[in-house]
Amino acid sequence: SVVFPDGSSEKVDAIIFCTGYRYSFPFLNDGLITIKDERIEPIYKHMVHIEHQNLIFFGIPRQLPYFPHFHEMAKFAIKLLAGKITLPSEEEMRAESEAEYQARLKEGKPPIFAHYMGDGHRQTEFNAQIAKLGGFEPLSPVIQMIWDDVMDERYMNIINTHEFDYLVTGPSSYRCLTPSKAKSRVSKAENVVRK
């Protein structure tokens, strides 16, 4: 239930808290999580509280194809809450999370990139990991390919970025339906004419 400032309370099914680009969870008890340099601990796979595994966070990873990945995270959460996923021990989850963080630091990423997925391989690996753990198929490669194309275009052609339409033609292929707006770049899309 939720307790409001006036002391009244209400039973709810879900709480959706939108914080923008800074992580903040003022509704959670002090000490339940820590946030330092935008790194949230203790969470596993950027979503599951290690000590309270029925506390699942959505929207922690940054810069990835949000809606497809949130769909995959939802599938994972449903299976976890239904008892169909066995997570590693708390010690193993902590060690894996720390190893991932340390690897980012060794790559030269600043601490605030703890949940950053902007490198293409990170998004694919993240999705593959939760799909394997959850026992379902990972996202089709075409999702990553379109994301890469959109990000390339975003850097080369910010003005027209939101004017692109894509058609998925297979698990690893797609077409850009608005190729006339594309700037000179490498694209994985079929039938895109380059200047």
Q: pTM of the entire structure?
A: 0.76
CB neighbours of 82 closer than 8 A, spacing ≥ 6? none
Q: Which tokens go with 190?
A: 């079929």
Q: How far is CA 98 from the centre of its chain?
A: 18
pLDDT at 20 over 90: no
Higher pLDDT, 19 or 71: 71
Confidence band of 83 (pLDDT split at 50, 70, 90): very high
Confidence band of 172 (pLDDT split at 50, 70, 90): confident
Q: What is the pLDDT of residues 90-133, one digit of tens each?
A: 999 999 999 999 999 999 999 999 999 887 688 889 999 999 99
